Structure 1
């Protein structure tokens, strides 16, 4: 290749690279409104963003994989926890976690009811951004150092056998619904939700107790009811419910397919 050919090759490659970069930039900017749900930017969302920055939440938490990496990634937190739980948590984090037991404790942000509502609105807006699967392995609120919560690389239902129990266990550990973000399967290890160890035995006792007002007659029916109507029976404990409403999200009845619920029930029935 002569010097003239080399120079021409360099100019053409530079032009093509610049054109590709400019084209991708224009394409990205043209889709910002669609990808970020710009039409959902309500005053509450904007106020919540301002509160988020004012309190320097990003110093510990991450959103879309960006932040302090000291505390959990909150990109999908509203889908993992739900509004009732987040509201109670932001009012007083010390009710949910012990500094001695969990080795860290979120300081109380001392927010008013409206501020809490706005922060949750902001986080919910973030959770619906089309982030193209980023971060690829988000930090979920489960604490992988706690027994019974280590998820590693989440399995997918397509990667396991057709056995309902195996399908249910894969779904339990996948996100969504990320059941293991709130529930451990180890005795005595309670996270945002109670441990599911010994679930069948406990369900049998609950159904037989006079405090139970639900419609389940068997442990399997109780497990299904707990997934689809979590407030039918409130597990004792201030960190699990408030105002007669369970902190467990109540959207699984619509967000999960009937077959997925069947698989979850089949797996959870093995936790005798």
Structure 2
């Protein structure tokens, strides 16, 4: 091309690119009310946003991909934790995590009950914004350096080899009629996601206690005079814990408040009896 043709090409390309950018921008603004559920922005949501900004939460936390990375991403926090847990946490974070043990310290902002309620309303609105799947995985409120934390079910049960990715004498755990395999899939996909609050690695307590050795721990609980539930067997205890989380409260202030467990009570309604059976089979396999 000669200089004149080159100039025309550059101008035309710039004009076309600018037009496309303008169209996409207008289209994005057209969709914002739907994508952000603008009709769900209540007075409480607005007040909660003010609490978020006033206390500089974004200096440590991230929402919708914006903010700092010192503390967990909170985009979906209300779906992963629930209002009872968040309320207790915001009232006294030191009950849950401390600087000496977890090498982090969530400051107590001394929020009023109304401010906490409004902040949770704001975060709940944020969690329902159509953000194309961000964040890509449930947050973990603590990490683990324990070998095998990220192993599969079979590896965790049988002492797997992280190099080969296979446990000794491994059997397939993806068969459609294998209740343990189906239970593992539910553990990682049910809503709310069980894996967002519970680890299956020994010693790794997240928002909920670790479920490693849950079968043997259940036997000890059933034999304890402190247990007042109705379960008689390990399987019944696990089922009761899923269906009626407050029937037995795991020791520790970070798991319950005022006699009520922070664990959601919706699994009995949202999962079928068969799915509950599969979850029980999976969890009971951790001896």
Q: Superposed, which structure 2 residues align to 1:137-176 within 5 Å?
A: 137=137, 140-147=139-146, 162=176, 163-173=178-188
Deviation for aligned residue 1:173: 4.2
Q: Which runs of 5+ in 1 are unaligned?
A: 153-158
8 Å Cα contact 1:61-1:72 kept in structure 2: yes
8 Å Cα contact 2:140-2:206 kept in structure 1: no
- SS class of match (1:31): helix
8 Å Cα contact 2:149-2:200 kept in structure 1: no
Deviation for aligned residue 1:142: 3.3
Partners of 2:132 and 2:263 lie apart in 1 by 26
Equivalent position of 1:155 in the other structure: none
Partners of 1:9 and 1:259 lie apart in 2 by 64
**TM-score of the pair, normalised by structure 1:** 0.85
Partners of 1:200 and 1:20 lie apart in 2 by 59
- SS class of match (2:29): helix
8 Å Cα contact 1:142-1:180 kept in structure 2: no
Equivalent position of 1:39 in the other structure: 39
8 Å Cα contact 1:143-1:150 kept in structure 2: no
Deviation for aligned residue 1:14: 2.1
1:57 aligns with 2:57: yes
Partners of 1:81 and 1:149 lie apart in 2 by 25
8 Å Cα contact 2:97-2:105 kept in structure 1: yes
Deviation for aligned residue 1:19: 1.9
Deviation for aligned residue 1:47: 0.6
Aligned residues: 265
Deviation for aligned residue 1:160: 5.2
8 Å Cα contact 1:142-1:149 kept in structure 2: no
Q: Which runs of 5+ in 2 are unaligned?
A: 152-172
Range with greater deviation from structure 2 (55-64 or 209-218)? 209-218
- SS class of match (2:251): coil
Post-superposition CA distance 1:80-104 (Å, at most 9, x none): 1111111111111111112111011
Equivalent position of 1:266 in the other structure: 281
Q: Superposed, which structure 2 residues align to 1:9-24 within 5 Å?
A: 9-24=9-24
Partners of 2:275 and 2:7 lie apart in 1 by 60
Q: Superposed, which structure 2 residues align to 1:72-87 within 5 Å?
A: 72-87=72-87
Deviation for aligned residue 1:61: 0.6
8 Å Cα contact 1:148-1:185 kept in structure 2: no
Partners of 2:202 and 2:14 lie apart in 1 by 62
Partners of 1:10 and 1:33 lie apart in 2 by 36
1:189 aligns with 2:188: no
Range with greater deviation from structure 2 (249-258 or 41-50)? 249-258
Partners of 2:147 and 2:112 lie apart in 1 by 35
Deviation for aligned residue 1:35: 0.7
Equivalent position of 1:204 in the other structure: 219
1:105 aligns with 2:120: no
Equivalent position of 1:231 in the other structure: 246
Structure-2 change in CA distance of 1:253 and 1:19 (3 Å): farther
Equivalent position of 1:243 in the other structure: 258
**TM-score of the pair, normalised by structure 2:** 0.81
Partners of 1:222 and 1:148 lie apart in 2 by 29
Structure-2 change in CA distance of 1:145 and 1:189 (3 Å): closer
